[in-house]
Amino acid sequence: MYTMPRSHETKEEALGGGLYKVKGSPRVFLVNKAANAASDPARQDVPISSSPQPRELSVELLIQWLLRGRYWILLFLILGAVAGAVFGILAKPKFSVTTEMLIDPTDLKIMPDDLFSQNNQRDTQVFDLETKLTVLTSGNVLKSVVQNLDLGNDPEFADAGVGNDEAKQLEALRALGKHVSATREDRSFVINLEVWSQSATKAITIADAIVVAFQNELAQAQADGAGLAAKALLSRLDTLKGEVAKADNAAQRFKRENNLQSSSGELVSSLIANEVNIKLVEAEARVIEARSRYKKLSTGLLESRIDTASIDSQTMTSLRIQYGLLKKELDARSSILGAKHPTILTLRPQLEALKSQIKQEAALILEAAKSELTQAESALMALQAQAKGAKSTVFDEGTALVQLRELEREVQTKSTVYEAYLVRSKEVAERQQISATNVRIISPPTMPKYRSYPPRTLFLIAAGMVVGFGVGCLLAAGLGFWGLIRLRFMGVLAAR
């Protein structure tokens, strides 16, 4: 083995296996003392009691390596801090805002029989909420936001050199989709809308615009549904109107062909027959009354007949009063003056004249009663003949009336359906103008205190220092381990 010149001051370090590391010169030599002692008799007096064992990996050795590489560790610690600070300053910031919305699956009830039915089943409500959650981040909503906020000309969402406005809006739409996310709270109807942007103000503006576009989209969906229903109803109305007119024309044509006249929904012949029957009943009552009166006037005692005649004749009543007063006076004077007295002789002819007038009046009343009875009977016979003719007409029109009623029922049915469709179409047309969506903002977006990405610069510096410290430690330990392997390998070669 090579022996270092004595002119240099040396220092030996045992490596094991009879090998020593000699320091103190510009180069490091491996010396095998046993071999030197055998070749150099002058140095055989140095006792060699035992050979040192090779050093194994340990915490102490690792600490020595770290202490030797402390400058590397410090360097990477500083580089990590600088890198964290530079990244925190140069990285594009992201500001996130959150909007909480309560979406009630049971929309507002506008009408008792609203066009859109409300379902109170839990599963259906959850499906409806999930559908609205998808609509919240759908292309229609985001496209409306891009157009309203002119995000196609915003460098954050679209490059200036993309092309035409349509291409810019399409790129902005894709970028906005990555800036927006929506989630639903478990076991609730609350939706969280999260939006991030490089500007906190812009993030709030976009979140508010998405909420407004979402509400407009839901309202437009209901309006479109109502519009389709109204269009279908209106198209059906024309058909129903034609069917009603056709059925009414058929009924009127049937009336003309069968000479059927109606008034207030009833045939004129039926009305005439009813009216004739009423008059016939009244005529029979008058005949009975006239016959009874004539019988009283024509039969019985004179006084009884005169009493009956006095009931309806004022003349008869006046004559009877005069007759009674004159007879009373005649009887009174006759008892005083005698039957031959001139006064009595004068009053007696007057009394006879009144009696004669009463008989004449009674005869006139009897004649009038007879004439009245005759007229009543004649009228009754005429009405009976008329009723018989009307009844025959009604019977003849019975079969035609059945068919006419069938046609009229068809007209009434189709008219009812047409009127119902007409009213419903007007209700649906008005419903199209009203939004019944029940979306309420329970937590509007607020200005964030810190950016969401990257983290705060102080945290980045601390993280960079931790990473740099770790890298420096790994480098120092790696260098130490590499040196150990190299020395052992060279020792093995020297031993050979």
Give the pLDDT confidence of 383-425 residue by residue, as tens digits: 777 777 666 666 656 677 778 788 888 888 988 888 888 887 8
**Is 471 a domain residue?**
no
- CB atoms under 10 Å from CB of 17, counted, come to 16
**CA 457/CA 81 separation, integer angstroms:** 10
**Is 485 a domain residue?**
no
Residues 325 and 284 in one domain: yes
C-alpha to C-alpha distances, 466 to 83, 438, 470, nearest whole angstrom: 12, 51, 6
pTM above 0.75, yes or no: no
**Is 337 a domain residue?**
yes
Residues 97 and 218 in one domain: yes
φ, ψ dihedrals at 25, nearest 5°: -130, 170
**CA 64/CA 483 separation, integer angstroms:** 13
Residue 207 is part of a domain; what is its CATH number?
A: 3.30.1890
Residues 98 and 222 in one domain: yes
Residues 193 and 110 in one domain: yes
In the chain, the number of structural domains is: 3
Residue from 82, 84, 75, 57 nearest 476 by CA: 75
Give the pLDDT confidence of 249-297 residue by residue, as tens digits: 888 888 777 776 665 556 666 666 777 778 778 888 878 877 776 676 6
Residues 227 and 267 in one domain: no
Residue from 86, 79, 198 nearest 457 by CA: 86
**Is 418 a domain residue?**
no
**Is 344 a domain residue?**
yes
3-class SS of residue 457: helix
**Is 478 a domain residue?**
no
Q: Which residue has the tokens 């000309």?
A: 153
- CB contact at 8 A, 100 and 441: yes
Residues 111 and 204 in one domain: yes
Give the range of the structural domain holding residue 149, as residue numbers without chain letter.
92-233+434-443
**Is 251 a domain residue?**
no
**Is 209 a domain residue?**
yes
Residues 286 and 166 in one domain: no
Residues 271 and 223 in one domain: no
pLDDT tens across the length of the chain (496 residues)? 333 343 334 444 444 434 444 444 333 444 444 434 334 443 444 343 333 344 567 788 888 888 888 888 899 989 988 988 888 887 788 899 999 998 877 765 665 555 555 666 777 778 888 888 899 999 999 999 999 998 888 888 888 666 677 888 888 899 999 999 999 888 888 999 999 998 899 999 999 999 999 988 888 888 887 778 778 888 888 888 888 889 888 888 887 777 766 655 566 666 667 777 787 788 888 788 777 766 766 665 455 555 555 556 666 667 767 767 777 777 776 767 666 767 767 777 777 777 777 777 777 777 777 787 788 888 878 877 777 766 666 665 667 777 878 888 888 898 888 888 888 787 777 766 776 677 889 989 988 888 877 778 788 889 889 998 999 899 888 888 888 888 777 877 777 6
Residues 387 and 328 in one domain: yes
Residues 313 and 383 in one domain: yes
Residues 226 and 273 in one domain: no
3-class SS of residue 387: helix
Residues 327 and 222 in one domain: no
Q: Which residue has the tokens 């009144």?
A: 354
